[in-house]
Amino acid sequence: MQLFRYALALVGLSIAYGIEPTPILIDVLPGETRCVGDSVRVGEDTTFTFRAAPVDGPFVDKVKVILEHPNGEEPFIAELTEKEQFHRVDKGEGGGTYRVCFHNLKTKGRSTRVELVETTLAVTKGASQVAKHLQPADELLKHAKDLAKSLSEQLRESASSEREGIDSDKVLRSRINFVALFTVVVLLSVSGWQLSLLNKFFRSKKLI
């Protein structure tokens, strides 16, 4: 959830600096509901854009998107398609934390990928208000970079641990195979030795 908030914040910053916003891709498992929270300031025009983003082939899944107003109302509910759908939060609606929830209506199968884009345009009065609006940009951008760096390090550690686990599994399997082979050899040897003793015993008794 925190990662999605920072991602949405970066989208808002990119708009403020005149950069095209980057879509946020979210994978939703069958029967799962994933929500993203974002704060909209008073005096901002914000447009939320939703669409399905299939990995391969045409989109045939059923995913419902719900936009929840800070007062609890749900002004936008729709079923996603590959065509973009929009909902605009006008500056007159006031600020607050909006929630965007994606609910995968499938009961089985693989996850479904959806796309969310937030476009924020500040309604300003003069250069001083623009500077005030962009004042925390550097700090937020730095914080987001630190978070991305931390996540990258965690992914590298996870990949390293996975490789170590695979190596340990190979060693364990080879040892198990060696023990199993040794056990079979011992059992065959003991069986042959017992048959030899029985043969000698019966010959000594002149039974065969």
Residue ranges making up the domain that contains 200? 175-208
What DSSP element (H or E) covers 78?
A: strand 76-79
The 63-68 sheet, strands edge to edge: 33-40, 96-104, 63-68, 76-79
pLDDT reading at 18 higher than 60 = no
Residue 79 lies in a domain: yes
Q: Residue 74 belongs to a domain with what CATH number?
A: 2.60.120.680
Residue 165 lies in a domain: no
Whole-angstrom Cα distance, residue 27 to residue 41?
Answer: 28
Amino acid at 69: H
pLDDT in the model for residue 89 = 75
Identify whether residues 46 and 124 lie together within a single domain: yes
Whole-angstrom Cα distance, residue 84 to residue 164?
Answer: 43
pLDDT in the model for residue 181 = 92
Using alpha carbons only, give the angle 106, 53, 150 rounded to the nearest 5 degrees: 100
| pTM of the entire predicted model | 0.46
Task: Report the mean per-residue pLDDT for the chain.
Answer: 75
pLDDT in the model for residue 131 = 43
Tokens 């704060």, located at residue = 39
Identify whether residues 184 and 146 lie together within a single domain: no
Residue 159 lies in a domain: no
How many folded domains does the chain comprise? 2
pLDDT reading at 124 higher than 60 = no
Identify whether residues 17 and 109 lie together within a single domain: yes
Amino acid at 74: E
Residue 62 lies in a domain: yes
pLDDT band at 93 (very low <50, low <70, confident <90, very high): low
C-alpha distances in Å from residue 149, one per residue of 26, 86, 90, 143, 180: 20, 32, 35, 10, 47
Identify whether residues 123 and 26 lie together within a single domain: yes
Query: Is 65 within 8 Å of 24 (Cβ atoms)?
Result: no
> What tens digit of pLDDT does each residue of 48-74 get?
888 888 777 777 778 888 888 888 888
Residue 205 lies in a domain: yes
Residue 92 lies in a domain: yes
Residue 22 lies in a domain: yes
Residue 158 lies in a domain: no
pLDDT in the model for residue 121 = 57
Amino acid at 166: I
Whole-angstrom Cα distance, residue 50 to residue 47?
Answer: 10
Identify whether residues 106 and 194 lie together within a single domain: no
Q: Which two tokens stand for residue 155?
A: 């992914």
Identify whether residues 80 and 180 lie together within a single domain: no
> What tens digit of pLDDT does each residue of 139-177 get?
667 777 788 888 888 888 887 788 888 888 888 888 999
pLDDT reading at 104 higher than 80 = yes
Tokens 């011992």, located at residue = 186
Task: Return the bridge partners of 69, or none.
Answer: none
